[in-house]
Amino acid sequence: MRQAATAGLFLFLSAAVCLTSGAQEPDTTFKVNVKLVNVFVTVTDEHGAPIASLKKDNFELQEDGKDQRISVFDKESALPLSIVLAVDTSLSTRKDLPLELASARRFAHAILRPIDALSLYQFSEIVNEVVPFTSDLGRIDHGVDRIRMGAATAMYDALYLGAQALEPRQGRKVMVIITDGGDTMQISDELRTQYMLAYYPSQRLSDSEFRRIQVTVNGLPASSNFKVRHRIGYYSSKSR
């Protein structure tokens, strides 16, 4: 995918859950904070096609090099999906802009469900939010029709502003950048065939605020050239 790629998956879905249990004395309450860490994983074959037939036993997950027990496994998460779709309208895309707009419209129609939401951006020398988060395909189509050519390419500004818009959203968070044409149907397939692995970290405190996640896949033919993509870690409390 030379022209269109997911710029990043913003999947900071760790949630602190407060568990309360009563002791023998009714006035005594014990509270324990348990952090369930969610990791969305995409596995593709040598042609870039998603592999959708894997099971829980195919996955191994480590945090900071320590094996973790996968507590939750799902082939396609029911969590809502928030998408920032940013279209490059700089002069370098002049001849490809019609293809970009067609790709943007096709992607929105292929991926959005009623529980999902998409925000449409255009970026050239400036970044504009054309349509705020919505699942209304009519509004998105109308926004695509309003996109116009610009001059320079402020891609980093688009990434920054898109990340800001995604930060407070709940569920899965994805940013898709379309530049110099490109085909987004592969991206749609990958988002529909993600695996969700969730675990409770075996080590509650660490020497670093950043905890590194590693996911490996077993049970595929040794000759297969597959790729595993997931977020590389998350920030947590540092031990004192």
Tell me the pLDDT of the chain averaged across its residues: 81
Encode pLDDT of 159-193 as tens digits: 999 999 999 998 889 999 998 755 667 788 788 88
- As given in the structure block, the two tokens for residue 91 are 């002069």
Judge whether 17 and 190 are in contact, CB under 8 Å: no
Largest CA distance in the chain: 75
pLDDT in tens, 192-234: 888 999 999 988 776 778 999 999 999 988 778 899 999 999 9
CB atoms within 10 A of CB 208: 12
Whether residue 64 contacts residue 211, with contact meaning beta carbons closer than 8 Å, is answered with yes
Between CA 144 and CA 164 the distance in angstroms is 22
